[in-house]
Structures are given as structure tokens and as C-alpha cells.
Homo-oligomer: A and B are copies of this chain.
């Protein structure tokens, strides 16, 4: 089984179909003439299926969660458990990870397995964790407290298991950006240091005092730290006040500093990150497109037979292949796919069509049967009466939707008004009953199953509406109905899933920082209940904080005494960075060591300079693609063909109102043309073509690169594809493409 989910799994989506096809092709071939480069068997396919089965995946994620959650129960713990209990749980997790790795090794060629850094990473982490556990355990038994350093490595399991492809990709973005950003960062630090030197020269000798009476700008390291913080504008007026009071002109120094180091350098960081992000994104997706082509050609070469002048795959072989790859596929579905692949009913599939098979398997096929409404089955006379039909027509009419949009708007205005007014609280009940009437009418008109279908977002929404607050979200529907807002809203919705990726990335970074923070800072700062009046309560239980801004600001609750507190502090630092950073850094520097400030600066660099910029780059790219999509149409060959055959259905058409009418026509058309049995099996089966609006950057880029590969292209060599570098790209018109 060549390269299943191995090193090259660089992007989501259609990745697995071609892997599976290639593997299945080898299996089919092996059943006849055992002429295969390595061991394959139906059992291997079964192992592969089992590896990818949802139960094993869920089990793996369960153990990853348990492993990560252990930090809640280990000292410093939120819910303390004895060391023995947590270490047994950890060993269990490690065993599970190891088992999963062995399973993966079974279904992967040895060479590919050992070349994959992910597997090496997991093994090394397992070994290191075991060593750490043994050392800590033995020291614990003789009552020496040491550090459980391997805990910071736990996110490795989350990142490196093949299922976390997206998080890994985000990390790759991060890593690819590092070399370039390093140079800008050095320059930035150089600029900060130069300004520090200037500040020392300008202010060092003047004997100025800060508001707290300590010497102002007399030590180069202190100055550098203060100026670094000034970049985040956290200490903006305070840091310049002594100089400003001394002479108004000195404020110019600080304004120039902020313009250069905050506005310009932060933009440069964004420019570098964005440039790299775009470059590497394109390269990864191009790699993927070529790799897919390479695998599909390999599969074709295994199965091909010569018919006439051309090599083709025979229909019988094609059917066997599809059955091995997708055993659960209905026969009607299979016929539909065959009809698309073997257009002319020649009894074989040519190369062009075979190469598209992976895409074809990924296309969703929906069954649309014109079911009767349950009420119609139950009491057809009443449901088909003219009054009932009028109601149905009314509900299906566009004005029905508009009327309720207006009602929602009025409702929003009422919510904004003072609710204590009794008239308004009556109005609330009126609105609630109107919504319930709307739901009942819709249930009466449409099939309840269709109404509750997963994709019918707004209808689900209506149910949730009854929960008072989310009702307001319905206003979004009014917005989406306005053409000009649609690009923005749909792009924002498309970004949604990727937000989870960034969530994963941020979680991993937080976890590592939290573990380190807990080791370094735990117990240094205590939080006492506000009603508790011990003298220590005012200095967070640490005399070093006497008279500090940290204690005065009542920051005691911001500590690293357990995982939850640490996560809260780090979230605050990310979201509302500037207000806490200086006080926190100075406070923790007081209770431990001046070097503690480095921890906070490092966190700022990683989270704000790197991750936030990658996030912005991602949003920017999504919008640029959305804006260009407005004008251009990118349709894959397969979609075009499905459209031509009339077996496709646009996702937009799957909306409630238009659906039934459309299917009616289609259906009649099919019956009218030719009524043979084969066609009848297809009745109601349609390929769902993804809406053009809801396409991600990845999907779009992949289409582009696929259209770039000529159909007759035999594919590049595997090594060549894997070594594609971003700078090889776009040789045609480099200037315009990159800069304009």
C-alpha cells in the first residue's frame, strides 16, 4: 500500500480517495498476477479500513484528551490525584499511542514509515515521557521533588497523529514563516535597542523619576523592556510621562518610536507572514494536485488493457475496483458514477475519465425522492383541499419570508427598547406566538424530514429561536438576503471551520506555555477571597509584591497555580493584551526573577507576532479569493460533465422553496427521454455540486492547479513532486503575478 496517509498528506479533502484507489488497484491486480512491488492483500485493505474507521479514530482522540487533561490532576492541580493514579493513566495513554503507531506501521511500506518524521516524533516523545516518569517516580519515592518536564511535550501526540492534518498544516505555516520573520525580528530588535541607546543618552543623565519614584530610563535592559512593551502600546502614556513633563519635545521621540516600531514593523511582520503563507499554501496545494495525478496514473497503469489503439479500464474491472474502494455504495449510485465515467456506454472507461475517479468518488450523491407529506398520506382529502393548497402556496411564496423578516426586525427594535414597559413584554409574547405559527405553517407545507435536514440552517435556527437570546441571530438572515453583503457573510462563514484549526494551534501553544508557567510560577502568587482580611491577602500572599502595581491592581487572581488559571491568564494576555502584560510581567518578575519577563515577551512574540499574523493572513487570503471569485467561474471538468449529463443538482437549489419544483421537472424529463430499467434506478439520484459561494481558498487553488496539469501529462516523478519548492512556481509572468 504505497504512501497511505504518509508523509505527503499535505491537505484535506480528496486526499484519501486516490490513495485507496491505488491500493485497491494493486489488490485487484494481485488477485490475477502477483506482480506487485510490495505485499498487498484484502487483509491489508481491511487493516487499512480498520485504521481509518471512526471507532479507532475516536479512541485515539479519547486517549489524547485524557493525556492532555492529566495536567488538571497533577501537582499543581485543580483536582489533585496521587502521582500513582496519574502515572498509570499516562502509561495507559502511551500504550494506546504506541499501539496506534504499530497499526499504522502495518499498513505502510517500511521505507515510507521510517521516513515520516511524525512517527519518529511520536516514538521519541513516548520514550522521553517514560524516562521522565521513571526519574520523577524514583525521586518522588525518596521524597525529592523534581520537574515533570515531559508534560510540555504532550501536545506532540495531538499534532502528530495523522488525523490532525489541519493543525499540522497550521504549524507548518508557522515553521515556514520562521526563517524570514527571524530577519525582520532581528532588525526590529536592533531598532528597539538603538532607540534604547538613544533613550539612555537622552534621558539617562537627567535624574528623572517615574510616577512611582524609581529612577527613569537609567538601565539599558530596563529601557529595552519598557520600549518593547511600548510596541504593544501597553504602557503608552506612562512610559513617556516623565520625559514629557520635563520637555514637551521629548514626546516626539516616543511618537517616532511608535510610528516606526508599532505601525511600520508590525506591518512588515504581517507582510512577511502573508507573503510566506501565500507562497507555501500555493506550493502545498500544487504538490497535492500533482501527487494525486501521479497516484491515479499509477492505478491506471496497473489496471489498463489495450482496446483498439488506446489503453482503457474495462467496465467489469472498474466495477470491482469501485466495490473494493466503496463497499457500501448502492448499486444505483454505482450506475450513476459509471454513466458519468463511461459516457458513450462503450463498456470501458478511458484514461481521462479514469483519472477523474477520485474526484467522482468525493462528489456527494443525494437521493431526492418526491415523498408525500405525512399529512397527505394520512388525510389526503383535507390536505389537497383548495384552502389547504392556498395555505401551502402562501407559505411557499417569497412574501411569506419577507413578512417574517420584517417581524424579526420589529422584534429587534422592541428588544432594544425598555423591557420594563408592560406593553413591550406583552409584545414579546406576541412575537413568540408569531414564530410558533411560522414554524407550524412550514411544517404543514414542507416534509418535516426535509424541514429538519441538517443543511437547513435557518429552520433549525427557528427552533433554537425559542431560546430567547439566539432569536436575535435570525437578523443575520435578513442581511444575507441583501446581495452586496453576501460575499462578506459567506466568506466569514467559510472561514468558520478553519477557525477551529487556529483554535487547535492556539490550544497547543497555550498548553506548552501553561505547563512551563505552572512549573516556574506556581504558588508564587496566591489569591485570597476578597472577604478574607489577612495582611497577606493584599500582597497576594507574597511579601515581594509589597507596594507593587500588581498587588494594587488586585491581579492576585491572575496566577499559574493550576491549568485552568494558567489558561485564563494566557487568554487574557492574547485578547486584552496591553492592560495586563506590564503589570503581570513585572509582578511575576518580582516574585521570581527579572528573567521571568522573558516568558511574557516570548509569549507575545509567538502568539501576537506569529499566530495572530498568520490568522490575519488567512483571513486576507480568504477575502482576496472571494473577491476574485465574484468575477470568475472555476468549474472542474467533472462538474461540467455532470451538468451536461443533467444528473447534477446545484447546492443552492437544495433550498426548501425551489427544491420540489425543480425535481419535478427534472424527473419528468428523465422519464420522457427514455424509460429503460437502468435509468429508472437512477431516478431521484443526483450528484450534489458544491455551491460556488461556499468554496474555500484550498478548494479553489486545487482546482486551479489541476487545470494547470495537461490531460496528457504523465505526471512528474514522485521525488520531483515531493521536492517542489515555492520558488519554482509561476514562471510565466512573474512580475505581474507576484507584485501586481
Contact = CB atoms under 8 A, between A and B. Distances in A.
Contacts of A249: none
A740 B473 CA distance: 34
Interface string A452-491: 0000000000000000110011011001000011001100
A363 interface: no
B268 A419 contact: no
A571 B255 contact: yes
B736 A485 contact: no
Interface stretch (A128-136, A589-597, A621-629): A621-629
Contacts of A412: 197
A157 to B, nearest CB: 27
Contact of A198 (B237, B469, B479): B469
B575 A202 contact: no
Contacts of A160: none
A7 B494 CA distance: 42
A274 interface: yes
A196 to B, nearest CB: 8
Interface string A575-600: 11111100000000000000000000
A424 interface: no
Interface stretch (A161-169, A536-544, A612-620, A646-654): A612-620
Contact of A612 (B263, B275, B580): B263
A233 B271 contact: no
B734 A183 contact: no
Q: Please classify how large the interface on chain A is, using the bins under 10, 10 to 19, 20 to 34, 35 or more.
A: 35 or more
A701 interface: yes
A44 interface: no
Nearest to A199: B469
A624 B489 contact: no
Given A183-B488, A205-B419, A624 B469 contact: no
Contacts of A492: 264, 268
Contacts of A727: 631
A261 to B, nearest CB: 12
Given A236-B575, A576-B233, A739 B200 contact: no
A270 interface: yes
A36 interface: no
Contacts of A489: 187
A579 B237 contact: yes
Interface string A236-267: 11000000000000000001001100011001
Nearest to A264: B619
Chain A binding surface, main DSSP class:
helix
A738 B620 contact: no
A335 interface: no
B576 A237 contact: yes
A184 interface: yes
A364 to B, nearest CB: 24
A143 interface: no
A202 B576 CA distance: 22
Nearest to A489: B187
Contact of A272 (B258, B623, B704): B623
A579 to B, nearest CB: 6
Interface in A130-167: none
A422 interface: no
Nearest to A700: B739
Contact of A415 (B200, B263, B628): B200
B187 A488 contact: yes
A400 interface: no
B236 A579 contact: yes
Q: Which of A484, A489, A634 has the most chain B CB atoms closer than 10 A to its own CB?
A: A484
Interface in A601-649: 612, 615-616, 619-620, 623-625, 627-629, 631-632, 634
A274 B739 contact: no
A634 B739 CA distance: 12
B739 A631 contact: no
Contact of A469 (B201, B620, B632): B201
A610 to B, nearest CB: 14
Contacts of A263: 612, 615-616
B268 A619 contact: yes
A578 B575 contact: no
Interface in A563-579: 571-572, 575-579
A427 B740 CA distance: 52
Contacts of A629: 739
Interface in A417-468: 417, 419, 468
A200 B471 CA distance: 13
A3 interface: no
B620 A271 contact: yes
A632 B734 contact: yes
A740 B737 contact: yes
B739 A736 contact: no
Contacts of A580: 237
B619 A575 contact: no
Interface string A700-740: 11001000000000000000000000010010111111111
A735 B634 contact: yes
Interface string A178-207: 000001101100100010111011101100
Contacts of A329: none
B274 A472 contact: no
Interface of A: 183-184, 186-187, 190, 194, 196-198, 200-202, 204-205, 220, 233, 236-237, 255, 258-259, 263-264, 267-268, 270-272, 274-275, 278, 282, 412, 415-417, 419, 468-469, 472-473, 475-476, 479, 484-485, 488-489, 492, 495, 571-572, 575-580, 612, 615-616, 619-620, 623-625, 627-629, 631-632, 634, 697, 700-701, 704, 727, 730, 732-740
What 9 A-B pairs have minimum CB-CB distances, sorted nearest first? A236-B576, A628-B738, A271-B623, A267-B619, A628-B739, A220-B416, A625-B739, A267-B616, A271-B620
7 contacts: A183-B485, A187-B479, A194-B472, A236-B575, A237-B576, A264-B495, A732-B733
Given A183-B488, A236-B579, A263-B616, 7 more contacts: A184-B488, A187-B485, A198-B469, A233-B576, A233-B577, A267-B616, A278-B740
